[in-house]
Amino acid sequence: MSDLPPEKTAPPLTANWRGQLRVGSIIKETPNVKTFRLLPASGERFLPFTFVPGQFLNLAFWIGGARMNRSYSISSSPNQREHVDLTVRREPRGAVSRHIVDLLKVGDIIEAGGPVGKFTFDGTEADSIVLISGGVGITPMVSISCYLTEQKWPGDIFFIYVCRTPADYILADAIAALARENPKLHVIITMTRPEGTDWQGPRGHLTAELLAQSVPELTSRRIHLCGPIPMMDATKALLAEMGVPPDQLKTEAFGTPKPTPAPAGTTAKPSAEAAGPLVTFSKNNKSAKIQAGQTVLELSEDLGIGIEFSCRVGTCGVCKVKMTSGEVTMAVDDSLDADDKTNGIILACQAIPKGDIAVEA
């Protein structure tokens, strides 16, 4: 929660920022999740950027000689201008999350960029909101709930969270404090594995019954959904069955379900003979035919081009490259703005060439 009223903070400085932040403090939330409070590295009082609740930062690390980018949603409120919180879950075999959770310490300087993302809600878009999350997908929902509570937003907030056990409930104290402060915040938690705990609340995965009894007139409300991919798929199907119009649902996926490939230059050559369009990477002076369904990013990895990436799902914008000729299709282009599109910028992680193309990479 912000401890500074908004009117006492410095005016907004920049969006689309890139620079350094310093780890100010680290809080252990659950056995495998920590919150990192990041401060301006420069020693300035205020952060060098502002953000909208629901946005994320892109962090970059050098790990084992490779540069790796990952996105992390901001879990604190934008009213707090002196720090920004990122809450990170340690993935058992994850390259970057293990580095962050196991090795980062207070005082470390990290490279960051942003804020970015369109999975936002500041209270102007609708008069009530249903926030459904699972696992670490709770992070943007906490930022949104915190901000709306601080703004004394008059709308109902239905905060629905699915997690395994009470010990896995991330940011539980923050949510409990917000619920005490805001009578319009309705918190519904269901635990999928509560056996052996003293959990008294709802059990099991999200069901139509639980949703219907928790959220009156669900189908007329705006809904935000973020969580593990199987949970998101099941919830999307449930909401569709319940009659929620697709344009009322906003979702954010926290990344690819498949492991990240090895760093550029170390990946084995594809075994199948590529017969698709020719892709030219002009800065590297390399060209190759692409395989059916392969993205420009995947081909660049085969060739050791080194295009940077983070989410691989079209939301973070880290993999932007300029296309100087040709045409591509992109299933998701959320992180491209109108200027990007006018200037021929594409998302390498999404781009499937329609014919021969050339990119500046």
In the complex, the residues that contact ligand FES under the rule CB under 6 A are 309-312, 314-319, 335, 347, 349
Question: In this complex, which beta carbon is closest to ligand FAD, that of residue 70 or of residue 224?
Answer: 70
Answer yes or no: are the C-beta atoms of 222 and 248 closer than 8 Å: yes
For the bound state, the minimum distance from the C-beta of residue 2 to ligand FAD, rounded and expressed in Å, comes to: 19
For the bound state, the minimum distance from the C-beta of residue 239 to ligand FAD, rounded and expressed in Å, comes to: 21
Residue 56 binding: pick among ligand FAD, ligand FES, none (C-beta 5-8 Å cut-off by kind): ligand FAD
Residue 214 binding: pick among ligand FAD, ligand FES, none (C-beta 5-8 Å cut-off by kind): none
Q: Tokens 């709930």 sit at which residue?
A: 145
Contacts to ligand FAD by CB under 6 A? 56, 70-73, 87-89, 91-98, 117, 136, 139, 252, 254-255, 259-260, 311, 315-316
Question: In this complex, which beta carbon is closest to ligand FES, that of residue 34 or of residue 320?
Answer: 320
Dist. CA 152–CA 5, nearest whole Å: 12
Answer yes or no: are the C-beta atoms of 308 and 67 closer than 8 Å: yes
- CA contacts within 13 A on the Cβ side of 42: 8
The sheet carrying 56-63 orders its strands as: 66-73, 56-63, 109-116, 17-30, 33-40, 84-89
Question: In this complex, which beta carbon is closest to ligand FES, that of residue 80 or of residue 350?
Answer: 350
Strands 278-281 and 156-163: unpaired
For the bound state, the minimum distance from the C-beta of residue 111 to ligand FES, rounded and expressed in Å, comes to: 16
Residue 188 binding: pick among ligand FAD, ligand FES, none (C-beta 5-8 Å cut-off by kind): none
Residue 349 binding: pick among ligand FAD, ligand FES, none (C-beta 5-8 Å cut-off by kind): ligand FES
Dist. CA 275–CA 290, nearest whole Å: 7
Question: In this complex, which beta carbon is closest to ligand FES, that of residue 40 or of residue 114?
Answer: 114
Which whole-number Å values give the CA distances from 48 to 17, 81, 144, 255, in the listed order? 8, 9, 20, 27
For the bound state, the minimum distance from the C-beta of residue 154 to ligand FAD, rounded and expressed in Å, comes to: 28
Q: Tokens representing 73?
A: 């949603």
Instruction: Burial-class residue 277 by CB neighbours within 10 Å (0-12, 13-18, 19+).
Output: middle
Residue 139 binding: pick among ligand FES, ligand FAD, none (C-beta 5-8 Å cut-off by kind): ligand FAD
Q: Tokens representing 232?
A: 């998101």
| DSSP class of 52 | -
Dist. CA 347–CA 357, nearest whole Å: 13
Residue 9 binding: pick among ligand FAD, ligand FES, none (C-beta 5-8 Å cut-off by kind): none
For the bound state, the minimum distance from the C-beta of residue 5 to ligand FAD, rounded and expressed in Å, comes to: 26
Comparing every residue's Cβ against ligand FAD, the nearest one is 94
Question: In this complex, which beta carbon is closest to ligand FAD, that of residue 122 or of residue 156?
Answer: 122
Q: Tokens 């709802």 sit at which residue?
A: 202
Question: In this complex, which beta carbon is closest to ligand FES, that of residue 23 or of residue 311?
Answer: 311
Answer yes or no: are the C-beta atoms of 341 and 307 closer than 8 Å: no
Residue 51 binding: pick among ligand FAD, ligand FES, none (C-beta 5-8 Å cut-off by kind): none
For the bound state, the minimum distance from the C-beta of residue 334 to ligand FES, rounded and expressed in Å, comes to: 8
Dist. CA 94–CA 268, nearest whole Å: 20
Answer yes or no: are the C-beta atoms of 356 and 278 closer than 8 Å: yes
Residue 88 binding: pick among ligand FAD, ligand FES, none (C-beta 5-8 Å cut-off by kind): ligand FAD
Answer yes or no: are the C-beta atoms of 269 and 263 closer than 8 Å: no
Question: In this complex, which beta carbon is closest to ligand FAD, that of residue 211 or of residue 253?
Answer: 253
For the bound state, the minimum distance from the C-beta of residue 255 to ligand FAD, rounded and expressed in Å, comes to: 4
For the bound state, the minimum distance from the C-beta of residue 289 to ligand FAD, rounded and expressed in Å, comes to: 27
Answer yes or no: are the C-beta atoms of 88 and 254 closer than 8 Å: no
Residue 87 binding: pick among ligand FES, ligand FAD, none (C-beta 5-8 Å cut-off by kind): ligand FAD
